[in-house]
Amino acid sequence: MSTARPPVPAPQEPIEPQELLRLGLGAEETCLRADAARNRARLLEAAARLVAERGADGLTMEAVAVAANVGKGTVFRRFGDRTGLLSALLDHSERKLQTAFLTGPPPLGPGAPPAERLRAFGAAVLRRGVEELDLQLAAEADAGRRFVHPARRVLHQHVTLLLREAVPDADCELLAHTLMAQLDAALIHHLTRQCGMPLARLEAAWGDLVDRVTATGRAPDAVAAAGSGDGAAPAQAAGAAGAADADDLG
């Protein structure tokens, strides 16, 4: 006996595209002089190089000062402490990602169907997650602030907007949280470093998930070929086909 599908709740507040760039930064950030902005960018570039070379644990205010050829006091005045520096690094990365999906070329940017944009978005976030994994884990917000962090809300709102275009009858706000869970830094760490899964497998799984959610679909053989890290899926498919042939012969 089938049951009626519960009504989808209306969103509490309308989400407008222009809200996506509001990361909650202070007024000081928008009033930087051109030279101060260049100096800040130079410090962030030096910090990013250090994270790439040594990991987030090797990032110190002193090391950034040496790498950028400035006094240590300059780094402290700009970022306050190491936590502030880590947050600024992530913000710099978030801004680049936002620029790409808000104004960049399709399929990540505007101009492609919503399902294609969702696929491209997840692939971009996964690639960034692998490249900046130590940094993202080090700056991870605690459980009480994780889902209200401005950067997290920006990404969630973007996914929600695309889902509303692709599946308007769904509870897109909750569905966006479900999709975003597959892009979580802690999960990426577990899958890539602890389980040894290649990035290509994660990207294929994301594309398959988007296709199933939006009912767009791709060729199953292509998804299986890209997503199987150990050949188990093709082997299982071959075994099932062999069993079916045996039944037919019997």
Q: Is the pLDDT of residue 28 over 80?
A: no
Asked which of 21-25, 74-78, 95-99, 115-119 is least confident by mean pLDDT, the reply is 21-25
Q: Is the pLDDT of residue 243 over 90?
A: no
Share of the chain above pLDDT 90, in %: 48
If DSSP codes are grouped into helix, strand and coil, which group holds residue 239?
helix
CA-based nearest residue to 90, from 54, 125, 38:
125
The arithmetic mean of pLDDT across residues 127-152, rounded, is 82
At 37-84, the pLDDT tens digits run 888 888 998 998 888 788 888 889 999 999 999 999 999 999 999 888
Q: Is the pLDDT of residue 97 over 90?
A: yes
Q: Is the pLDDT of residue 134 over 50?
A: yes
Q: Is the pLDDT of residue 230 over 50?
A: no
* Better pLDDT: 238 or 12: 12
For residue 56, give every residue at least 6 positions away whose Cβ sits within 8 Å of its Cβ, in sequence order, or none.
86, 134, 135, 137, 138, 139
CA distances (Å), origin 135, targets 91, 162, 201: 11, 28, 22
Q: Is the pLDDT of residue 195 over 70?
A: yes
* Better pLDDT: 148 or 201: 201
For residue 133, give every residue at least 6 positions away whose Cβ sits within 8 Å of its Cβ, in sequence order, or none.
185, 188, 189, 192, 193
If DSSP codes are grouped into helix, strand and coil, which group holds residue 71?
coil
Q: How confident is the model at residue 152 (pLDDT cuts 50, 70, 90)?
A: confident
* Better pLDDT: 168 or 58: 168
Q: Is the pLDDT of residue 236 over 80?
A: no
What is the CATH topology of the domain spanning 33-80?
Arc Repressor Mutant, subunit A (1.10.10)
Answer whether the bond into residue 150 is a cis peptide, omega within 30°: no
Give the DSSP H/E element, type plus range, for residue 207: helix 199-214
CA distance 162 to 168: 9
* Ranges 9-18, 62-71, 108-117, 226-235, most confident: 108-117
Per-domain residue ranges for the chain? 33-80, 86-230
Task: State the chain's mean pLDDT as an integer.
Answer: 80
Alpha carbon 189 to its chain centroid, in Å, reads 13
Q: How many CB atoms are located within 10 Å of the residue 240 CB?
A: 10
Q: Is the pLDDT of residue 5 over 60?
A: no
**Superfamily of domain covering 86-230:** Tetracycline Repressor, domain 2 (1.10.357.10)
The arithmetic mean of pLDDT across residues 97-109, rounded, is 96
Contact assessment for residue 99 and residue 195, using Cβ atoms and an 8 Å cutoff: no
The arithmetic mean of pLDDT across residues 81-101, rounded, is 89
